[in-house]
Amino acid sequence: MRTAEDEALDLLALGGHDNPFALLGRHETTGKGRRALVFRTIQPSADSVELVTPHGAFVMERRRPGGVFEATVPVDAIPLDAIPLDGIPLDGARPEEFAYRFRVSEGGRTRDVIDPYQFGQVLTDFDLHLVSEGTHYRAWEKLGTHRLEIGGITGIHFAVWAPNAQRVSVIGDFNRWDGRAHVMRRLVPSGIWEIFIPEMADGACYKFEIRTPAGDLLQKVDPYGRWFEVPPNTASIIWNDGGYTWRDHDWMRDRGLFNAWHDRPMSVYEVHAGSWRRMPEEGNRYLTYRELAATLVPYVREMGYTHIELMPIMEHPFSGSWGYQVIGFFAPTSRFGTPDDFRYFVDECHRNGLGVILDWVPGHFPKDSHGLARFDGTALYEHADARKGEHQDWGTLIFNYGRDEVRTFLFSNALFWLEEFHIDGLRVDAVASMLYLDYSRSDGQWIPNQYGGRENLEAVSFFQHLNTLTHGRVMGTITVAEESTAWPAVSRPVYVGGLGFSYKWNMGWMHDVLEYFQQDPVHRRWHHGELTFSLLYAFTENFILPFSHDEVVHGKRSMIDKMPGDLWQKHASLRALYGFMYGHPGKKLMFMGCEFGQWCEWNYDGSLDWHLLDDTMHAGLRRWVRDLNRTYQHEPSLHEIDFEASGFRWIDCNDNENSVLSFVRRAKDPQDYTVAVANLTPVPREAYRIGVPEGGWYRELLNSDGAIYGGGNLGNGGGVTAERGPMHGFDYSLTLTVPPLGFVLLKKG
């Protein structure tokens, strides 16, 4: 007659039992009136198995063809108090447990295995509670893989959230990718599964095999995995953090004093690590993280930038997504090296005075079968309803910001990069797509919020909590919103109703300015307002002025190719545009290649066209950007008061007939100021008069028409004297020569 135990062993052998700890390992029995110990293991590929103890070896009986082996040992054969494993929290918390191994023979080879099913629960109930309520802000320290020592035995602890799974197993080379071998313990009611596997080595590939509610088997990567195989391979890799010695102590000590860089210069060089530079002589391969540290870091420093912003460096399967479709949220991509190699890159940036900002993508994730999509066979990380859970434009899935375990995942991920990799800021991608329930959707394709509106209230709550958390826990770090609409108070504190970001990209400024500069100069007089409109709202947010990768792809043309006219005019217009950008209130961001006038649109699968620097015009443009950066850093008036009206005053914003703009920028010390003038036609403006605050000598700090920049060297001989004579509301005025398609910056004294 078949017993319940027989049925349970059948399920175990088939990989269908959801509580293997009730059967495997060591259990006490009182069968036939005698106390005995029953040992079970599942070794699907074994020919035979022996139980090995300090008190002898015992041949184990094969109970099922699927590899279930069992040995029953009378208690008088093994003292219960023999060799206790102190510190192992075994089921029932019995201190009398003793050490044993299984000697497994297969294919003529023999190996000893420490039984993972002798170990009790590792995660605490408090950990499980915090994950479930969305407040385990260091969940990366508990979920995923971690090397532990329990009772003198070292191994890897695996933990994963899959609440609707029938069962979850760890699979890898170490068990022939057989889901029957290492079935995990279900921790009710959290939905987390865990197992401690002794003697696991770092570098082993693994996945989680998940039996869905429908009975299907899925192979999923570790959502908290620290390292992955190089795409197109997809397995997670056991990586043991803690071996890197940081050398950026001075930077980290001072970072908390930077006040999110609000009153400091911030000029950001945006980089796609896979295409900044390649090695064509070696099959066009990528540079490694360490090679980037040796080449990119000194280049950016020499160019005068203050920060490097990396397009998403998190592991992603498809290079054509540019990194914006992430699979491994806790892993720097293995395309360029190991996690410690990436730490070295960040370290070198800091040691050279450069901050590091990462593009972070909490807005969506891809549908790849090995990733987060329907992770346990159900909509786990995403919304079940496609009207809330799917981006139709991008073919990706949207995180469920109202689910506490998802919030744990995302909040802890943000802190992970800031703390574990010393990252200085996160630029949050596609914020508008998260804020609006009807983003890129027609009527009937979206679900209103509880008040009938289009605002995603769960996303609003998520952003407010995210920014409060990161700013409060990791002082001196920043968050930046790529938000393309007029959502109010994006960069205002949460306590006044804002979203709490440090900065917002000024997409309106970018769009208007590029629209203006793409006009033929003869028509610019009719578009003058596109340059001046931004000052109507310039101080409503803490803005970054971006010329990003999005502006040089998909048929939009490169920055220099957007400029009208002949070759000389294109270069001159671009120099003037960059001069206007650096004079305008707001921090700065420029995508790689824009600094030297790359002609081709950006191609993620190739290198920048560095050979263009052999041309004097392109070399001059790069020198202009370098000098803009250096002057911007050196002059407090250009960066100290970016977000208050007191830092800016128009001199003349109405000269559309000549297409000339002039304005004053002030530092915290109102006596420290600079004067900027831009002439945006190819006609030199001789004896051009503007008002200025004071009389005296005004030194010409920058002139985009300088011969060293590729210009015609028309200017003011190093400076000009302001004389008494009212103009533009000032008591003094300057009479200038403003070069064609030129930008001039002057300073009193």
Distance CA(66)–CA(41), nearest Å, equals 11
Residue 215: pLDDT over 60 = yes
Q: What CATH topology corresponds to 508-520+558-597+606-749? A: Immunoglobulin-like (2.60.40)
In the DSSP assignment, the letter for residue 436 is B
Element (H, E) at 574: helix 567-583
- pLDDT for 261 equals 87
Distance CA(214)–CA(201), nearest Å, equals 34
Q: Are 416 and 330 in contact (CB under 8 A)?
A: yes
- pLDDT for 1 equals 63
- pLDDT for 79 equals 55
Residue 581: pLDDT over 70 = yes
Q: Which overall architecture, per CATH, does domain 4-115 show?
A: Sandwich (2.60)
Residue 92: pLDDT over 50 = no
Residue 73: pLDDT over 90 = no
Residue 97: pLDDT over 50 = no
Instruction: Tell me the residue length of the chain.
Output: 749
Strand partners, 504: 481, 543
Residue 96: pLDDT over 50 = no
Residue 85: pLDDT over 60 = no
749 CB neighbour count, 10 Å cutoff = 10
- pLDDT for 611 equals 97
What are the respective helix, strand and coil percentages of the chain, to the nearest 5? 30, 30, 45
Taking the alpha carbons at both ends of the chain, their separation in whole angstroms is 103
- pLDDT for 86 equals 38
Between these two residues, 32 and 245, which has the higher pLDDT value? 245
Between these two residues, 518 and 96, which has the higher pLDDT value? 518
Q: Are 408 and 330 in contact (CB under 8 A)?
A: no
Distance CA(442)–CA(620), nearest Å, equals 48
Q: Report the mean per-residue pLDDT for the chain.
A: 93
Does the reported pTM lie above 0.85?
yes
| Mean pLDDT of the region 72-94 | 52
What would the two tokens of residue 749 be? 């004294």
Residue 42: pLDDT over 70 = yes
Residue 263, C-beta contacts closer than 8 angstroms, at least 6 positions apart: 639, 640, 641, 642, 668
Under the banding of pLDDT at 50, 70 and 90, the label for residue 93 is very low
Q: Mind listing the pLDDT tens digit for each residue in 175-194?
A: 999 999 999 999 999 999 99
- pLDDT for 32 equals 65
Residues labelled catalytic: 429, 482
Under the banding of pLDDT at 50, 70 and 90, the label for residue 34 is confident
Under the banding of pLDDT at 50, 70 and 90, the label for residue 36 is confident
- pLDDT for 533 equals 97
- pLDDT for 14 equals 85
What would the two tokens of residue 129 be? 């509670």
| Half-sphere exposure at residue 440, Cβ-oriented, CA atoms within 13 angstroms | 11
What radius of gyration do the chain's Cα atoms show?
32
| Half-sphere exposure at residue 614, Cβ-oriented, CA atoms within 13 angstroms | 3
Positive or negative, the Cα torsion across 685, 690, 696, 698?
negative
Q: Mind listing the pLDDT tens digit for each residue in 377-412?
A: 999 999 999 999 898 889 999 999 999 999 999 999
In the DSSP assignment, the letter for residue 98 is B
Residue 374 has φ and ψ, to the nearest 5°, of 40, 60
| Mean pLDDT of the region 43-59 | 90
Q: Mind listing the pLDDT tens digit for each residue in 533-551?
A: 999 999 999 999 999 999 9
Distance CA(186)–CA(166), nearest Å, equals 9
Residue 83: pLDDT over 60 = no
Q: Are 692 and 698 in contact (CB under 8 A)?
A: yes
Distance CA(430)–CA(387), nearest Å, equals 18
C-alpha distances (whole Å) from 404 to each of 19, 367, 388, 447, 601 are 26, 21, 17, 20, 42
Residue 99: pLDDT over 90 = no
Residue 94: pLDDT over 50 = no
In the DSSP assignment, the letter for residue 139 is G
Under the banding of pLDDT at 50, 70 and 90, the label for residue 445 is very high
Distance CA(742)–CA(704), nearest Å, equals 6
Fold: same for 4-115 and 125-237 = yes
* Lowest model confidence (mean pLDDT) among 52-66, 155-169, 336-350: 52-66
- Could you tell me the maximum CA-CA distance found in the chain, to the nearest angstrom? 114
* Secondary structure, 3-state, 26-64: EEEECHHHCCEEEEEEECCCCCEEEEEECCEEEECEEEE
Q: Whose structure tokens read 């790069």?
A: 622
Under the banding of pLDDT at 50, 70 and 90, the label for residue 78 is low
Residue 247, C-beta contacts closer than 8 angstroms, at least 6 positions apart: 347, 351
Q: What are the extents of the domains in the chain?
A: 4-115, 125-237, 508-520+558-597+606-749
Residue 259: pLDDT over 90 = no
Distance CA(665)–CA(676), nearest Å, equals 8
Q: Identify each DSSP E strand in 124-243 by its residue range.
A: 144-150, 153-161, 167-172, 185-187, 192-198, 205-211, 217-220, 227-228, 236-237
Q: What is the CA angle 5-8-14, rounded to 5? A: 145
Residue 415, C-beta contacts closer than 8 angstroms, at least 6 positions apart: 137, 138, 469, 470, 473, 474
- pLDDT for 18 equals 84
Distance CA(340)–CA(289), nearest Å, equals 9
Residue 304 has φ and ψ, to the nearest 5°, of 85, 10
Q: Are 545 and 527 in contact (CB under 8 A)?
A: no
Distance CA(391)–CA(440), nearest Å, equals 8
Looking at domain 125-237, which of 3.10.20.600, 3.40.50.300, 2.60.40.10, 3.40.1010.10 is its CATH number?
2.60.40.10
Spacing of C-alpha 118 from chain mean position: 39
Percent of the chain with pLDDT over 90: 87
CA neighbor of 143 nearest in space, from 182, 181, 184: 184
- pLDDT for 35 equals 79
- pLDDT for 77 equals 63
- pLDDT for 95 equals 38
| Mean pLDDT of the region 226-252 | 95
Q: Mind listing the pLDDT tens digit for each residue in 590-636?
A: 999 999 999 999 999 999 999 999 999 999 999 999 999 999 999 99
Under the banding of pLDDT at 50, 70 and 90, the label for residue 749 is confident
The CA dihedral of 65, 68, 72, 73, to the nearest 10 degrees, is 130
Element (H, E) at 469: helix 457-473
- pLDDT for 226 equals 97
